[in-house]
């Protein structure tokens, strides 16, 4: 059984950009959502697609099952999304021996920037980059599932401290 262990942070500055890769454009649609589980489809640069099932509501650790699927299947599933289709560009940044994923959101969540780091164990303590803001690990408002299915009142809901553009 695959486990996802991650910490999540708001991003306070664009200092990460100098070390980032070229980024991957993602479209992400939730097909099933429940309090403790979800099934989503993700389209990456319109050339690859994955189906992911996540189970659990722990703050750092959940079961995760992920499978490659045909791009055409993903495109067919996107309009069947519950709520919004999440639009974001994901950048990878290596810092202190860990790979950070910085998600720059577009569409309904334009301006939101979140960084997460996947860990091998909950006790891992990665060095935190200076460009991080508040930790939001376990805060459901910053899960993609929440962002796809709950109304966004304003960008201030996400305590944005800067615009990355």
Q: What is the pLDDT of residue 56?
A: 87
Owner of token pair 């659990």: 56
Q: What is the pLDDT of residue 165?
A: 34
Q: What is the pLDDT of residue 1?
A: 54
**Domains of the chain with bracketed CATH:** 3-158 (2.40.320.10)
Q: What is the pLDDT of residue 155?
A: 54
Flag residues of the chain having pLDDT under 50. Answer: 153, 160-165
Q: State how far the Cα of 133 lies from the Cα of 71, in Å rounded to an integer.
A: 35
Which tokens go with 80?
């069947």
User: Does 30 qualify as catalytic in the annotation?
Assistant: yes
Q: What is the pLDDT of residue 35?
A: 86
Q: State how far the Cα of 72 lies from the Cα of 58, in Å rounded to an integer.
A: 33
Coil, helix or strand at residue 151: coil
Task: Please state the φ and ψ torsions of residue 71, each to the nearest 5 degrees.
Answer: -55, -40
Closest of 117, 96, 99, 90 to residue 25, by C-alpha: 90
Which tokens go with 89?
């560009």
Give the pTM: 0.89
Q: What is the pLDDT of residue 131?
A: 97
Q: State how far the Cα of 77 lies from the Cα of 111, in Å rounded to an integer.
A: 26
Q: What is the pLDDT of residue 100?
A: 98
Q: What is the pLDDT of residue 162?
A: 40
The per-residue DSSP string of 42-92 comes to EEETTTEEEEEEEE---SSEEEEEEEE--HHHHHHHGGG-SSPPEEEEEEE
Q: What is the pLDDT of residue 157?
A: 54
Q: What is the pLDDT of residue 151?
A: 65
Q: Which of 30, 91, 105, 142 is catalytic?
A: 30
């Amino acid at each position: 059984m695959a486990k996802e262990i991650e910490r999540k942070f708001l991003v306070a500055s664009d200092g990460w950009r100098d070390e980032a890769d070229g980024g991957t454009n993602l479209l992400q649609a939730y097909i099933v959502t429940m309090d403790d589980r979800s099934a989503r489809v993700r389209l990456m640069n319109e050339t690859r697609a994955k189906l992911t099932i996540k189970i659990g509501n722990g703050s750092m650790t959940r079961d995760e099952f992920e499978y490659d699927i045909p791009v055409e299947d993903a495109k067919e599933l996107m309009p069947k999304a519950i709520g919004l289709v999440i639009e974001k560009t994901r950048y990878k940044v290596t810092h202190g021996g860990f790979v950070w994923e910085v998600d720059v959101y577009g569409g309904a969540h334009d301006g939101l920037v979140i960084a997460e780091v996947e860990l091998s164990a909950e006790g891992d303590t990665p060095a935190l980059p200076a460009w991080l803001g508040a930790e939001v690990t376990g805060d459901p408002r910053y899960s993609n599932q929440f962002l796809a299915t709950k109304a966004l009142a304003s960008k201030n809901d996400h305590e944005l401290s800067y615009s990355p553009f």
